[in-house]
Chain A
Amino acid sequence: QSVLTQPPSVSGAPGQRITISCTGSSSNIGAGYDVHWYLQLPGRAPKLLIYGNNNRPSGVPDRFSGSKSGTSASLAITGLQGEDEADYYCQSYDSSLSIQYVFGTGTKVTVL
């Protein structure tokens, strides 16, 4: 079980805004470590969506945004589209583990 907890599923209607949380603790997000987000379309490899808490790689629409506060981080998707239906993972570091890269538990986004 990961130290970064995400809701198993989030859903929304087309055009709506949804948020996905990534809840950690004082040894990871709360310690100030950056959070990154990945999107995994069905049957495809994950792809970097947000890095350094709130930075978008070239080509990622500005409908996607990230934020961090305290021991949690969030990914927001505005103007939800059918193509956004995918799994989303957060990633950071935990100082209490010997694991350099920790992924969240993952969230399945369903577009209603």
Chain B
Amino acid sequence: EVQLVQSGAEVKRPGESLKISCKVSGYTFTTNWIGWVRQMPGKGLDWMGIMYPGDSDTRYSPSFQGQVTISADKSINTAYLQWGSLKASDTAIYYCVRRGSGTWPYHFDYWGQGTLVTVSS
């Protein structure tokens, strides 16, 4: 069974750094792209970026380029999303997603349970 299990909720102050994780199981980690999706309070879904763990090829949405870093550790089947300096506007739920196969544009066939990040002074 494919599972994406994310790290727990975080409360941070503006300017602090943060790295959240997404541990996958049930399939070969290096064979599917892993992405991140943001959902701000009461709002819709925003695609942030995606990485292919097999070769670390990473693509970012222009809105998030330079604002976050996506990475992965193949040895422990885990993907990461990190911020160097959080802002209040980063308060949101962040979902890791597995990109499915098929034809372009690909869908996201499995989602993590979400990590709530709250940034407040």
Contact = CB atoms under 8 A, between A and B. Distances in A.
B41 interface: no
A94 to B, nearest CB: 9
Interface stretch (A46-54, A67-75, A76-84): A46-54
B108 A99 contact: no
Interface size bracket, A side:
20 to 34
A112 interface: no
Given A98-B62, A99-B62, A102-B47, A45 B112 contact: yes
B107 interface: yes
Contacts of B107: 34, 36, 48, 51-52, 91
A33 interface: yes
A105 B44 contact: yes
B29 interface: no
6 contacts: A33-B105, A34-B104, A89-B44, A91-B107, A101-B35, A102-B47
Interface of A: 2, 33-34, 36, 38, 45-48, 51-52, 57, 89, 91-93, 98-106
